[in-house]
């Protein structure tokens, strides 16, 4: 299969690129900046590289030619970006997916796997595992944009028969993730011996899902569409378990052997709509759609992530001029 990965040099996109190459697929990596992110030079030599902007409809159309699947991962990254640039966040989501859908149809009906987010749930659910059948209530610009795109995919299926899956990804983590996200930020601070800052008392919970599990789900959904088992679906990608931010920080300190301490901070201004007290997902639909695979336990995923950070830090030290 030939597949297009938008945001192909980013965290999720780069992991999907590598997984597709491992199974022998032809890959088009599309990103506004291909180098200096998560793709090595040897990987870039093995893919068709297109450095362009997701806003450029003509470029997306060319990139999708003869593709059987499009994994749409291009997006802005981090709560700070969403809170400071709400209009650009929503424009990137809406325009990017519209261009992808047009390109998929022009390519003869390429299947679309879209990276949505658990942010669409907002304050829904309370203390229960968030289920795809719940009425959603996004309260952030990012969550609203992701929900709009889920609805747009449904309309494209109704109007044009476009097959798609929107993956409602919870808090994913793993090697090569940007330090603007909580786990790589905590790991860096732990290695440096600095304070790990938590907002409020750190009792807020999240559902952390390892990157390999997200990639496995994305590829499995694309295959189910080939088999005609999926028309247009929304699927949670989660571990099904909640962990408090305080507990997460303490686990990272223990696994790194750090002397770091926890420091409580007030929630930054402008981020109120991104804060929810509890957030964890239900895996029931995921298991029905792609099968009952075991998710990576949090400590195992953290050990792999910490090892990758340690390796990179060691390589950077050796590469410094003496």
Number of H helices, E strands in the chain: 11, 13
Distance CA 165, CA 232 (A): 6
Which residue carries 């640039």 as its tokens? 85
E strand or H helix that includes residue 31: strand 26-31
CA torsion, ordered 274, 278, 280, 284, to nearest 10 deg? -120
Q: Does the reported pTM lie above 0.75?
A: yes
pLDDT tens per residue, the chain (322 residues)? 999 999 999 999 999 999 999 999 999 999 999 998 999 999 999 999 999 999 999 999 999 999 999 999 999 887 777 778 888 899 999 999 999 999 999 999 899 999 999 999 987 766 678 999 998 989 889 999 999 999 999 999 999 999 999 999 999 999 999 888 899 999 999 999 999 999 888 999 999 999 999 999 999 999 999 888 789 999 999 999 999 999 999 999 999 999 999 998 887 665 554 567 788 999 999 999 988 778 999 999 999 999 999 988 877 666 665 5
Supply 225's token pair. Answer: 């569409």
Which residue carries 């506004």 as its tokens? 32
E strand or H helix that includes residue 152: helix 141-160
Q: Are 221 and 113 in contact (CB under 8 A)?
A: yes
Q: Are 161 and 198 in contact (CB under 8 A)?
A: no
Distance CA 285, CA 271 (A): 31
Nearest residue to 114 (alpha-carbon basis) of 83, 78, 77, 151? 151
Q: What angle do CA 127, 128, 129 make, to 5 degrees?
A: 130
Q: Are 287 and 230 in contact (CB under 8 A)?
A: no
3-state secondary structure of 95: helix
Nearest residue to 210 (alpha-carbon basis) of 76, 115, 303, 92? 303
Nearest residue to 70 (alpha-carbon basis) of 258, 275, 225? 225
Rounded to whole angstroms, the maximal C-alpha distance in the chain is 62
Q: Which domains does the chain have, with CATH numbers?
A: 2-172+209-240+280-297 (3.40.50.720)
**Secondary structure string (H, E, C) spanning 209-274:** EEHHHHHHHHHHHHHHHHCCCCCEEEEEECCCCCEEHHHHHHHHHHHHCCCCCEEEECCCCCCHHH
Instruction: Please classify residue 198 by burial: count the beta carbons closer than 10 Å to its beta carbon, then call 0-12 exposed, 13-18 middle and 19+ buried.
Output: buried
Which residue carries 């496995």 as its tokens? 216
């Amino acid at each position: 299969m030939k597949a297009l990965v938008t945001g192909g040099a980013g965290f999720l996109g780069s992991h999907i690129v590598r997984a597709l190459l491992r199974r022998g697929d032809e890959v088009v990596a599309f990103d506004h900046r291909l180098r200096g992110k998560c793709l090595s030079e040897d990987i870039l030599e093995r893919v068709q590289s297109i450095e362009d902007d997701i806003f450029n409809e003509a470029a997306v159309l060319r990139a999708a030619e003869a593709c059987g699947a499009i994994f749409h991962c291009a997006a802005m990254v981090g709560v700070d970006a969403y809170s400071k640039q709400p209009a650009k966040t929503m424009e990137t989501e809406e325009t990017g997916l519209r261009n992808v859908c047009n390109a998929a149809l022009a390519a003869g009906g390429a299947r679309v796997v879209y990276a949505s987010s658990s942010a669409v749930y907002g304050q829904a659910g309370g203390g229960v595992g968030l289920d795809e059948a719940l009425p959603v209530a996004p309260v952030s610009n990012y969550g609203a944009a992701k929900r709009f795109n889920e609805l747009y995919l449904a309309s494209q299926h109704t109007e044009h028969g476009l097959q798609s899956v929107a993956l409602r990804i919870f808090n994913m983590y793993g090697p090569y993730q940007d330090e603007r996200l909580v786990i790589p930020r905590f790991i860096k601070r732990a290695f440096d011996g600095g304070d790990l800052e938590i907002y409020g008392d750190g009792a807020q919970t999240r559902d952390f899902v390892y990157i390999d599990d997200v990639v496995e789900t994305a590829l499995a959904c694309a295959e189910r569409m080939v088999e005609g088992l999926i028309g247009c679906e929304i699927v949670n990608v989660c571990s099904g378990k909640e962990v408090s931010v305080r507990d997460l920080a303490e686990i990272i300190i223990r696994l790194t052997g750090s002397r770091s301490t926890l420091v409580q901070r007030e929630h930054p201004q402008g981020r109120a709509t991104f804060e929810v007290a509890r957030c964890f997902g239900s895996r029931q639909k995921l298991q029905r759609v792609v099968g009952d695979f075991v998710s990576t336990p949090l400590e195992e995923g953290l050990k792999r992530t910490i090892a990758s950070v340690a390796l990179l830090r060691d390589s950077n030290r050796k590469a410094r001029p003496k």
